[in-house]
Structure 1
Amino acid sequence: MAARIARAQGERKVRAEQARDGAAKDMSGFSRGLRLGSEFIAAVIVGGGIGYLLDLWLKTSPWLLLVMVLIGFAAGVVNVARSASQMNKAAPPPPGSDLGPDDDEDDDR
């Protein structure tokens, strides 16, 4: 029984990874930009909303709003960098693209 459960969990994990990788490979430039932009804007709005509510509750207006908007901005930058990295890993470069110098190429000219 435990072997069947482990096998089913393994198959489920493989299917989830394939679905995630397939979705990132099929994304167009517009959809990538829309996803990254919405993640950034959402982080700033959530940070600002939390700051606003804390300001109302603690009567510290506008200081916590400003601090939380900055924290939301930083979180948005981190989210965008992480998402872009995952998208770049999932989508291989097009054939014939210049990826820069190889490790074996000598930079001394």
Structure 2
Amino acid sequence: MKDGRDNAAFEARLEAAEQAAKAERPETAQKQAGSAQRAIELAMRLGVEMVAAMVIAVVIGWGLDKLFHTKPWFMILMVPVGLVAGVRNLLRAMG
């Protein structure tokens, strides 16, 4: 077997490698946490953008139906308009 001198050098290198790995972990974890948080924020924003566009379109359609006494034609007509506006907002937010 080898003498104790080689074993001590190995232990010293092993300890240095473990310290370096511990020093790198918090930075990586913070970057991953920040990235995950940004992804969640983007997903929430996209969901709100889509729902808001649909709600606004339906409310406008409902108001036009009340104004012109044409239930439910304007509301039905405004649903695809709201869908297109929502998708447009999503694409604009992603780009």
| 2:45 equivalent to 1:35 | yes
* Structure 2, unpaired ranges of 5+: 1-34
**Counterpart of 2:75 in 1: which secondary structure?**
helix
CA distance in 1, matches of 2:79, 2:58: 5
2:68 aligns to what? 58
CA distance in 2, matches of 1:53, 1:78: 23
Structure with the greater alpha carbon radius of gyration: 2
**Deviating 4+ runs (over 3 angstroms):** none
> Identity over aligned residues, as a percent?
35
| TM-score computed with the length of structure 2 as normaliser | 0.60
* Larger proportion of helix: 2
Alignment root-mean-square deviation, CA: 1.7
**Higher RCO (CA-CA < 8 Å; seq separation 6+):** 1
* Structure 1, unpaired ranges of 5+: 1-24, 86-109
2:91 aligns to what? 81
